[in-house]
Chain A
Amino acid sequence: MFRMLARMPAAVITAVLLHLALVLAILFSDLWQPRSTQLSGQTASQEASQSVEQPNIAAESVSSEAIEKQAERLREQREARKQNLAEQERAAEKAAATRRAEEARARQLEEQRRQREEAAADEAKRLAEIKEQQRQVEAERQAALQEVEAARKEAEAARKKSEAEQQRAEEAAKRREAEEKARQKAKEEAEAARQKAEEKARKEAEEQARKEAAEKARLEAEEKARREAAEKAAREQAEREARERAMQEQLAAEQRARVEQDALSRWAAAIQSKVRQNWQRPPGAKAGWTCTVTVQQDRDGRVRQVSVGRCDGDRLFERSIVQAIEAASPLPKPELDSIFQDKIEFTFEP
């Protein structure tokens, strides 16, 4: 119903306006028809009867069709009343003319005075009636307004109720949804928590395993390192001792060698000097000529044999070399017998 109202607000408004217009029309028509007390009374009664009926109408006017029907009926009544009023008017005019004609002069003044009094009394009465009528119309209007208001309120209330219900329903739905969501979420969270917990447990287990493995490895490595260090230390110790022994031996050998080397150097220098002094190199020797000779000597330095090896040079050059060695014989003797060598290789270059 609310939706209908919402869908057809124009109809409702029209209905309300029509009511208002009707009321106003009634009011104004009564105002513009002040002379007919009877009619007024009729109208008032009609109106009263109508206004008595109105709550029913109002009560039914929750539907626009009802309102329209009522409006139609009111319209018809209004039309009927209008006809009545017109007939009454015509009748009143006839009666007044008759009365005026009948009573005319005779009693005109008195009558008129009395009539006036009566009229005044009637007028007062009629005014009172009009007032009453007005009051009633007002009351009707008020009642109608109240009815409309009540209807509106009722509709409003219905709407509100509907809305409230809908809202409730929606809220309920939302709540359900929320609850469902919450449940789902809780479920998911629970699942996530479970998984997380499992993952954590797994990781922890793995970590534990890893730590254990690492620890094991570390221990093994340490053990190995310890073992190797020990082996290495032992080995190094052995090597060091060997090295020291070797070094001492080497030092001794080097000492010997140095002494011998020095002696050898001096011996070689002495031989070199004597041979060079005896080398009378012939003219024409060219740069790059070189001759190698191997000399065999005895313990006294006497040259026993001179054999020319490779010789790049002419015959006179080669001969001069052999002669230099022979002329240098006996060769100088070494300081130490230990370094004596009976074979000497000479390389001659110009």
Chain B
Amino acid sequence: MTGQPGVTHMKLLAFFRGKSRISLFAGMLATALAFVLAGPAQAALKIDITGGTETGVPIAVVPFEQPGRVGDLARIISDDLARSGLFAPIAREAMPGRPARPEQLRIDDWRAGKARYLVMGQVDDQGDRLQARFYLIDVSSGERIAGSQITAAAAAERSIAHRISDIVYEELTGERGAFSTRLAYVTERGQGDDKTYTLQVADSDGANPQTVLESPYPIMSPSWSPDGKKLAHVSFEGNRSAIWVQDLTTGERYQLTAFPGINGAPAWSPRGDKIAVTLSKGGSPDIYVIDLDTRRLVQWTRSGAIETEPSWYPDNRSLAFTSDRYGQPQIFRQDGPNESATRLTFDTPYAAGPRISPDGKNLAMLVRGAGGFFVAEQSLDNGLQRLLSRDGGEERPSYAPNGAMVVYATQSGSGSVLKISPVIGGEPQTLRYDQGKVRDPVWGPFND
């Protein structure tokens, strides 16, 4: 039903709205809140249900039947689902049993409990490989919604859990899960002149961090190539800013730009053919686009103000960026090098660090509000803005490839941490990092 065209939906919606008005009239005769219309001509009793309790979908991820050397996959899955903001995994203590296979499931026990869905499974140790089998059960109906078998290298046990999370997520929501994706971010350790900067790549839950670049010079603003194989970033090697592109598989890197002044904020285009950058070689920082095949540089903005932090629209043509041409930083959209820019943000005195959502319908950014800087999302349809973070020390966010979550760095004590917020609202989840500062997280693409 969700796949039907919107127009049909609207018509049908109107149809049922009309009916509910009739029901309302009849309902005035009836008990409050009970809207009834019944009679010889009515084949069915009509009842309206409004409200309900908004809550994360209660789901029980039963600990898998698995070898002791394998990590707790159920925990990983449960955390993934919780991070999405849609699910409320129930505590293991509240589970009436530990089924791993359908024949072990006593559904009536579960119906009495809170969980509406149940995930159970088992992992077979096959030496260097692991074979997992899992089931997604609708507790209410007892129906098996999904079930499949996943094989992975023994070292990739977490990826098995993330793939199960993706399947559960997609099965229940209809949207693609983004748990089997990666994050890139920069860390900073040390004091004074003895600082170490690293460029890291980790799983979407922050696990499995891999250092792809370590440097005594600051590293900034990583950007994923759309195929997930390369990272562009800014490095201050030799105390001069330059934009580099690093191959994640081979570790090879090359310098893309090293113009006088600022070379910053690279943004890989959705098709991977261009990188937008900020250069101050013309005086003030402006947006330029580099064609990766021809290396031709095209200047997009020419104002005397600061233009930076470009972000591509999914059409591979337009850019959103930050400009303080009107005083305070605000977000603008520009559809080409010779086009004029359109202002997108009006509601806050400070809006910066734009990221256009993967579907092009929303804009995540950093806004200044009471108590500091927050991550906000603005609908590009109706302009409505919602805050997605709560701390006040946030930095530029980045969308998960399914657009359902954003990751951002925020101050925490003397250091900083990464947090993930579901865009539908809900409690942000923290990705722990205890070794200093972490900043500039960017969410990588889907893995396929």
List the interface of chain A (C-beta within 8 A of B): 261-262, 264-269, 271-272, 275-276, 279-285, 288, 290-292, 294, 308, 310-316, 318-324, 326-327, 339, 341, 343-350
* B73 within 8 A of partner (CB): no
Considering the complex, which residues of chain B in the window 46-102 have a beta carbon less than 8 Å from any beta carbon of chain A?
Answer: 46-58, 85-86
In the complex, residue of chain B having the shortest beta-carbon distance to the beta carbon of A292:
B16
Chain B residues with CB under 8 Å of A326's CB are 140-141
Q: A272-B33, A283-B426, A316-B174 are in contact. Are A345 and B86 (CB under 8 A)?
A: no
Contact B16 A310 (CB under 8 A): yes
In the complex, residue of chain A having the shortest beta-carbon distance to the beta carbon of B39:
A257
Q: Which of A272, A283, A315, A339 contacts B34 (CB 8 A)?
A: A272
Q: A310-B12, A327-B111 are in contact. Are A283 and B44 (CB under 8 A)?
A: no
Q: A284-B425, A345-B47, A347-B19 are in contact. Are A314 and B57 (CB under 8 A)?
A: no
Contact A280 B116 (CB under 8 A): yes
Contact B49 A272 (CB under 8 A): yes
In the complex, residue of chain B having the shortest beta-carbon distance to the beta carbon of A296:
B44
| Interchain nearest-CB distance for B335 vs A (Å) | 29
Contact B46 A348 (CB under 8 A): no
Q: Which of A282, A291, A312, A350 contacts B57 (CB 8 A)?
A: A282
| Interchain nearest-CB distance for A274 vs B (Å) | 10
Q: A264-B30, A290-B16, A318-B1 are in contact. Are A347 and B53 (CB under 8 A)?
A: no
When chains A and B are docked, how far (Å) is the Cα of A324 from the Cα of B10?
24
* B31 within 8 A of partner (CB): yes
Contact A283 B85 (CB under 8 A): yes
Contact A345 B44 (CB under 8 A): yes
| Interchain nearest-CB distance for A282 vs B (Å) | 5
When chains A and B are docked, how far (Å) is the Cα of A284 from the Cα of B1?
18
In the complex, residue of chain B having the shortest beta-carbon distance to the beta carbon of A288:
B13
Number of interface residues of B (CB under 8 A): 53
Q: A282-B54, A312-B13 are in contact. Are A327 and B140 (CB under 8 A)?
A: yes
Which of A280, A291, A314 has the largest number of chain B CB atoms within 10 A? A280
When chains A and B are docked, how far (Å) is the Cα of A268 from the Cα of B173?
30
Chain A residues with CB under 8 Å of B56's CB are 282-283
Contact A316 B44 (CB under 8 A): no
13 further contact pairs, Cβ within 8 A, besides A268-B31, A315-B172: A261-B36, A265-B27, A269-B31, A272-B48, A279-B52, A280-B55, A281-B54, A282-B57, A284-B425, A314-B174, A327-B111, A347-B49, A348-B52
Interface readout for B15-30 with A: 1 if CB under 8 Å, 0 if not? 1110110010001011
Which of A290, A318, A319 has the largest number of chain B CB atoms within 10 A? A319
When chains A and B are docked, how far (Å) is the Cα of A268 from the Cα of B46?
8
Chain B residues with CB under 8 Å of A266's CB are 31, 34
Chain A residues with CB under 8 Å of B86's CB are 282-284, 316
| Interchain nearest-CB distance for B443 vs A (Å) | 19
* B205 within 8 A of partner (CB): no
Chain A residues with CB under 8 Å of B20's CB are 347
| Interchain nearest-CB distance for A8 vs B (Å) | 126
| Interchain nearest-CB distance for A42 vs B (Å) | 161
In the complex, residue of chain B having the shortest beta-carbon distance to the beta carbon of A282:
B57
Q: Which of B29, B48, B51, B54 contacts A265 (CB 8 A)?
A: B29
Q: Which of B16, B27, B44, B173 contacts A344 (CB 8 A)?
A: B44
Identify the 5 closest CB pairs spanning chains A and B, nearest first: A265-B30, A269-B34, A279-B52, A284-B424, A315-B174
In the complex, residue of chain A having the shortest beta-carbon distance to the beta carbon of B425:
A283
Q: A275-B49, A308-B1 are in contact. Are A268 and B35 (CB under 8 A)?
A: yes
When chains A and B are docked, how far (Å) is the Cα of A26 from the Cα of B116?
182
| Interchain nearest-CB distance for B4 vs A (Å) | 8
When chains A and B are docked, how far (Å) is the Cα of A42 from the Cα of B23?
165
In the complex, residue of chain A having the shortest beta-carbon distance to the beta carbon of B53:
A280
Contact B52 A281 (CB under 8 A): yes
Chain A residues with CB under 8 Å of B155's CB are none
Q: Which of A314, A327, A348, A350 contacts B2 (CB 8 A)?
A: A314
Q: Which of B17, B38, B54 contacts A341 (CB 8 A)?
A: B38
* B43 within 8 A of partner (CB): yes
Chain A residues with CB under 8 Å of B85's CB are 283-284
Contact B34 A279 (CB under 8 A): no
Contact B47 A268 (CB under 8 A): yes
Contact B58 A280 (CB under 8 A): yes
Chain A residues with CB under 8 Å of B47's CB are 268, 271-272, 275, 344-347
Contact A316 B173 (CB under 8 A): yes
Chain B residues with CB under 8 Å of A269's CB are 30-31, 33-34, 36
In the complex, residue of chain A having the shortest beta-carbon distance to the beta carbon of B17:
A290
When chains A and B are docked, how far (Å) is the Cα of A308 from the Cα of B23?
19
Chain B residues with CB under 8 Å of A262's CB are 30
When chains A and B are docked, how far (Å) is the Cα of A4 from the Cα of B33?
136
* B45 within 8 A of partner (CB): yes
Which of A276, A313, A341 has the largest number of chain B CB atoms within 10 A? A276
Chain A residues with CB under 8 Å of B141's CB are 322-323, 326
Chain A residues with CB under 8 Å of B52's CB are 276, 279-281, 320, 324, 348, 350
| Interchain nearest-CB distance for A134 vs B (Å) | 151
When chains A and B are docked, how far (Å) is the Cα of A23 from the Cα of B53?
166
When chains A and B are docked, how far (Å) is the Cα of A8 from the Cα of B85?
153
Chain A residues with CB under 8 Å of B45's CB are 264, 267-268, 271, 341, 343-345
